[in-house]
Amino acid sequence: MKRAWPALCCMLLGGCVKYPEPYRPPERRQPLELREPVRLGHFTAMNSPHAPDHLVSDVLPELHDGAWRWTMQCPTFQFQLPVTRAMRLLADITVPDITFNQTGPVKITVHVSGHPLGTIEVLKPGQLQWEKDVPADWLITARPVLVRLAIDKMWTSPDDGTRRGFIITRLGFVQ
């Protein structure tokens, strides 16, 4: 009993812990932007059910590992923007070992609405996330905005001549 009393004290004290009663659901906020699943949005992940609506050309339809797609040389995407101010383009891409070992370092030029935004320089294989501010006057809300990524060197399979550009996981506009 003498040895148990410190633990007993803590248990007694702990037994006096008051958890709150379960809560009612709160007032539901109206978010600043529409959160219902729209077909064409400002951003897409390749594993989103609405991703195909954002693909214009040069993106292969098959989804790998439930997360990414292969591109060809000049994949083009479209996005519908609710606003144009203070937007950044974010691209989550991968240049895997298998293609890098053949092509070496690659450059991917990025165009938004036909304007050159910048170049992604891939100096080593792997995943990278690239972001850049987009001038507001390049963007419009009235119709979809086109984003084109063009890789300078493609990989060619030595077995069957299949060609691939790079891997895309996520792409779109963020603030």
Partner 1 sequence: MPKAVSILFGALFTVAVAYSLGALLLQRLRAPFRREERPLFAFAAGSALLGLVMFLLASLQVVRDGVLLIAGAATIGAAWKLGAFKPEGDRLPALPRTWAWLYWSLYGIFAVICVLHAMAPETSPDGSGYHLGVVAHYYRAHGFVKLTSNMYANLSQGVEMLFLHAWAFGRHSAAALVHCAFLLCLPMLLLRYGQRTGFPQAGAAAGLFVLLSPVMMKDGSSAYIDAALACALFALFYLCEIDAPPALAGVLAGACYAMKYTAFLALVYVMIRYALKRRWRALAVIIPVALVMILPWVARNWIWFGNPFSPLMNAWFPNPYVHVSFEQDYAAEMRNYAGLTSYWQLPMELTVGGGVLGGLLGPLFLLSPLALLALRSGAGRRTLAAGLLFALPFGLNVGTRFLIPALPFVSFALAAGLPSITLPALVAAHALLSFPDIPQRYCAPYTWRIAEIPFRAALRMESEESWLSWKLPQYRTARMIEQATGPGAVVFSFTPISDSYTSREIMVGFQSARGELIRDFILTAFMPDYQPVNQLEFTFLRQSIKAVRVVHTAASGPADSRDILSIGEFRLSSRGLPVEPSPDWRLEARPNPWDVQLAFDNNPLTRWRSWEWLRPGMYVRADFGHALTLDTVRLETSLDQYSARLRVDGQAETGEWKTLATEPVSTGLPPPLGLRRAAMEEIRRRGVTHILVHEGDTGWEDFRQKAGLWGIREAGAVDGVRLYRID
Terminal Cα-to-Cα distance of the chain (whole angstroms):
63
84 burial level (CB within 10 Å; 0-12, 13-18, 19+): middle
From residue 21 to residue 60, the character string flagging contacts with partner 1 as x (rule: CB under 8 A) and all else as - is -xxxxxxxxxxxx-x-----xxxxxxxxx-----------
CB of 70 or CB of 100, closer to partner 1: 70
CB of 106 or CB of 168, closer to partner 1: 168
Give the nearest distance from C-beta 96 to partner 1 in angstroms. 19
**Cα(76)–Cα(148) distance, integer angstroms:** 4
| Binding-site member from 2, 3, 18, 143 for partner 1 (CB under 8 A) | 18
Instruction: Give me Rg for the CA atoms of the chain.
Output: 24
Looking up tokens 């979809």, which residue turns up? 144
Q: Would you give the DSSP letter of residue 68?
A: B
Binding footprint of partner 1 on the chain (CB under 8 A): 10, 13-14, 16-20, 22-33, 35, 41-49, 66-67, 82-83, 85-86, 90, 169-170, 172, 174-175
